[in-house]
Structure 1
Amino acid sequence: MAHIILASSSPRRKELLKQLGLVFETFSPDVDESVLVGESVEIYVERLARLKAETVLQSYPDAIVIAADTSLSFDGQIIGKPESKQHAFDIWRQLSGQWHDVFSGVCVATTTERRSIVVQTQVQMMQLSPIEMEKYWATGEPVGKAGAYAIQGIAGQFIPQIRGSYSNVVGLPLYETAQLLESVKASS
């Protein structure tokens, strides 16, 4: 059986990958996640997923590595994790009452095979009041989350609808990840 490594320290990605019934280890690579000048969100998340996979393969050359990166896009702007309370509030004011896109780049790689995909999901956020923002920030949940929210947690109440993959919004599109994994296994 192939040795599988999830290139992430995200508890959400770990829980999602467990849903596929896989036995795997986790190893979080240290990579520069800076956005390059003029880089679109689609290129950005795929580049980071590939970079994470390639970095882990250097330490585990016999493994199958699953790597992902998730970011939001609104009006063509990449929205990452909040750097402060003020930044989170700025993000919520932008997204409030609007649709935005969540993109995940997923890469499944071995030393001889690399397959990647970008998955897009549209998410609608309700109009948030300043009081709702304060209460949500106080929970601590928005810290470290792309878009300053976690759909699988308290913020689920702020999301009236999505179009596309729910697991993508959480951080790892399961259907596409399973398809890439099978494709890489078949060619190995």
Structure 2
Amino acid sequence: MLALNILHVKKMAPLILASGSPRRHELLSQLGYAFDVCVPNIDESVYAAEQAQCYVSRLAYEKACVIVKKYPKHLVLAADTCLSIQSEIIGKPMSKQHAFDIWQKLSGQYHDVYTGICVIQEGIVRQNVVKTQVKFAILSEQDMEEYWATQEPIGKAGAYAIQGIAAKYIPEIIGSYTNVVGLPLYETDQLLQQTIKALN
């Protein structure tokens, strides 16, 4: 309630979350912001030799730009998340076998989760990339079969959801938990507040 009052006093422009992710919607709601959702349509292909942190930063910016063109008077927030292990960007599983291939790479290893966040309003652009290290347990074939059967991995970067059943396979994280879910709340709020103050 306090956050809402502060934002009202600062006459914040209407906020749009440029994402169709239910997880990002839930996370942003935790911060107390009122917002609309508009899903951008962009090419999410990885450039040759592109590093994970550059990839998520670029996509977050491109998503925000698409929406701010439609709503130039709004405050637009966009984000993109990916996993990386040994410099390889890990995306969403395209099939059961692809998910198993991903888990075999993650099994017993640390991997990095990057989220790029971008806020744009009235020509002001603020960006950040947040990194979290995640340790995965050693997964057996049975573990993989059982987890795939839940259908939770479908559509998830890295073929898992830390806020769901996959939590039992993750003994350690170093950094922001909400970053792994899809939107680092502390850093997101900082970017939004900086932009709001600059325009008031």
TM-score for both structures, normalised by structure 2: 0.93
Aligned equivalents of 1:13 and 1:139: distance in 2? 21
Aligned residue in 2 for 1:166: 177
Shift of 1:148: 0.2
Alignment partner of 1:51 out of 42, 45, 62: 62
- 1:13-162 pair list within 5 angstroms: 13-162=24-173
SS at match of 1:141: coil
- Secondary structure at the aligned position of 1:91 is classed as helix
SS of corresponding position for 2:28: helix
The gaps in structure 1 that reach 5 residues or longer are none
How many residues are matched? 188
Deviation at 1:110, TM superposition (A): 1.1
User: TM-score normalized by structure 1?
Assistant: 0.99
Cα deviation for residue 140 of structure 1 reads: 0.7
Q: CA deviation at 1:72?
A: 0.3
Q: By how many angstroms is 1:141 displaced?
A: 0.5
For residue 111 of structure 1, report the CA deviation from its aligned partner. 3.0
- For residue 9 of structure 1, give the secondary structure of its aligned residue in structure 2: coil
In 2, Cα distance between equivalents of 1:93 and 1:3: 44
Per the TM alignment, residue 2 of structure 1 is displaced from its structure 2 partner at its CA by 1.4
Cα deviation, residue 161, structure 1: 0.6
Q: After TM superposition, list the pairs within 5 Å mapping 1:1-20 onto structure 2.
A: 1-20=12-31
Say what the alpha-carbon RMSD is for the aligned residues: 0.6
**3-state SS in 2 of match to 1:155:** helix
Report Cα offsets for 1:106-140 as digits up to 9, x if no partner: 00111310100000000000000111101100111
Who is 2:186 aligned against?
175
Distance 2:162 2:184 in 1: 14
Tell me, what secondary structure is at the counterpart of 2:55? helix
Task: State how far apart, in whole Å, the 2-side matches of 1:111 and 1:46 are.
Answer: 20
Q: Which runs of 5+ in 2 are unaligned?
A: 1-11
Partner deviation per Cα, 1:16-74 (whole Å, 9 max, x = no partner): 00010000000110000000111100000000000000000011111101100000000
Supply the distance in 2 between the matched residues of 1:65 and 1:154 (Cα, whole angstroms): 32
Runs of 4+ in 1 over 3 A off after TM superposition: none
1:153 deviation in Å? 0.3
Q: Measure, in 1, the Cα distance between the counterparts of 2:32 and 2:129.
A: 23
Alpha-carbon distance in 1 for matches of 2:43, 2:197:
31
SS at match of 2:73: coil
Paired with 2:57 and 2:153, the residues of 1 have a C-alpha distance of: 24
State, as a whole percentage, how many aligned pairs show the same letter: 59
Secondary structure of 1:168 counterpart: helix
